[in-house]
Amino acid sequence: MALNRRHFVQILSITVGASGLGILPDLAWAQNATGPYDLPALPYSYDALEPYIDRETMQFHHDKHHAAYVNNLNAAVKKYPDLQSKSVTELILNLDKIPADIRTTVRNNGGGDLNHTMFWQIMSPEGKREPSGELAKAIGAKFGSFEEFKNAFNQAGLKVFGSGWVWLVLDKKSGNLDIMTTANQDNPLLSGLYPVMGNDVWEHAYYLKYRNVRAEYLKQWWNVVDWDEVSRRYLQA
């Protein structure tokens, strides 16, 4: 049985409370763990996001696609033991220091692991379906309104040619929010921007249910975005 999301957060809270290290966000994202890297469990059941994202898509997406990124990353760093003491985030942020023979593999599969770990966490079967507080204010100031933000995000997602992601990113230096897209499994961290949230527009994310109609997937996806979690990421950044 997949770990219930509230349980997951509760367990982490207890752990952090006990250790007093204040590392809940890192643990929750499992991105600061060193190698060998693990496939994080889905924080809800495969059918929890029905009818917007179907069980079969979730099963394949998590158990096959995300698992493959993790396996490929572990295989790549196997012959470089010192790399295994780095978190996936550290690997991605230091691609220039990765040996050339595995650099592209680490970029694609480390990115795939980071991106999907975030993706599962920012969705939930229940939860707030629109931003509030500081994030709502920032989105309103940048895009005009939540509706306008969603439209711009969907338009950007629709324009990704081939496989990639559409993101809400934060420039930590200026505090500016923006929408950006990346190809393949590239993460906005590669451009020095913090990924507040993002949607996977690879065909594997929607093809079983939405076939070729990416626009409909983009539209329906908002029904499963958990803005409590997105806000947590924004405030943490």
Question: Where on the chain is the footprint of Mn ion (CB under 5 A)?
Answer: 200, 202
Nearer to Mn ion, 151 or 163 (CB): 163
Residue whose structure tokens are 């204010």: 137
Name 114's Cβ contacts closer than 8 Å, sequence gap at least 6: 31, 88, 89, 92, 187, 189
CA atoms within 13 A on the CB side of 17: 6
**DSSP-derived 3-state class of residue 5:** helix
Nearer to Mn ion, 29 or 202 (CB): 202
Give the shortest CB-25-to-Mn ion separation in angstroms. Answer: 22
Give the shortest CB-163-to-Mn ion separation in angstroms. Answer: 8
Give the shortest CB-164-to-Mn ion separation in angstroms. Answer: 10
Nearer to Mn ion, 200 or 226 (CB): 200
Nearer to Mn ion, 186 or 200 (CB): 200
**DSSP-derived 3-state class of residue 26:** helix
Strands (E), 189-231: 194-200
Pair of tokens at residue 51: 């009818």
Give the shortest CB-106-to-Mn ion separation in angstroms. Answer: 17
Is there a contact between 92 and 189 (Cβ–Cβ < 8 Å)? yes
